Amino acid sequence: MGDSAVAGSAVRLRPGTAADIPAFRALGEAVVPVTYGPIDAAYAQRMLDEWWIPEVFEKSLERNTHLVAERDGQVVALANLGRLARSYREFPHVTGDREVMWKLYVHPDHQGLGIGSRLLAEVEALVEGDELWLEVVDGNDQAYDFYLARGFVEVERVSDGRWPDDVWLRKSLGRTER
């Protein structure tokens, strides 16, 4: 991890902690409505109400690795990685286990500076196996294109008929299990 100069301001990557939960919520409030509102406003609100709350971050911090990017002392991005089997959500369509990057979000004011790419590289380095999985909400074309450009391929789409589809992407990291 460490520091690097980005557009005249150093970006520092570090592990996320419980002390960051208010900053995680603030990041969600900045990124979720503009990202998901145009796709489905009710879904965007559901995300904030169900997945961007302190109780969920407390559980996630116990089960997953969290990385944050700080710029000028402020958390401007978040990524996390964990095993599907340790998720508090159910995934009945999945057999076996997966290492999943559950979140990679960069504050809109700090996008385009390479922060997301740096966080993704750090997450990939933490993967124990040879594949990294993630979900993208159908219609989030910016994220979808970002991941395809970095070697991910679409594997499946999961629909519940009520909310936008989840699009599962996978990247082979080209290594054998460590």
Q: Note the pLDDT of residue 92.
A: 65
- The Cα 146–Cα 35 span in angstroms is 14
pTM, entire model: 0.89
Q: Which residues of the chain have pLDDT under 50?
A: 6, 177-178
Q: Mean pLDDT of all residues in the chain?
A: 90
Query: Do the Cβ atoms of 115 and 76 come closer than 8 Å?
Result: yes
Q: Note the pLDDT of residue 169.
A: 96
3-class SS of residue 103: strand
Amino acid letter, 131: E
Per-residue tokens: 171: 């990247």
Per-residue tokens: 102: 């559950």
Q: Note the pLDDT of residue 121.
A: 97
Q: Note the pLDDT of residue 3.
A: 53
CATH superfamily of 2-172: Gcn5-related N-acetyltransferase (GNAT) (3.40.630.30)
Judged on CB neighbours under 10 Å (0-12, 13-18, 19+), 43 is middle
Q: Note the pLDDT of residue 178.
A: 47
Q: Note the pLDDT of residue 114.
A: 95
- The Cα 6–Cα 125 span in angstroms is 21
Q: Note the pLDDT of residue 175.
A: 65
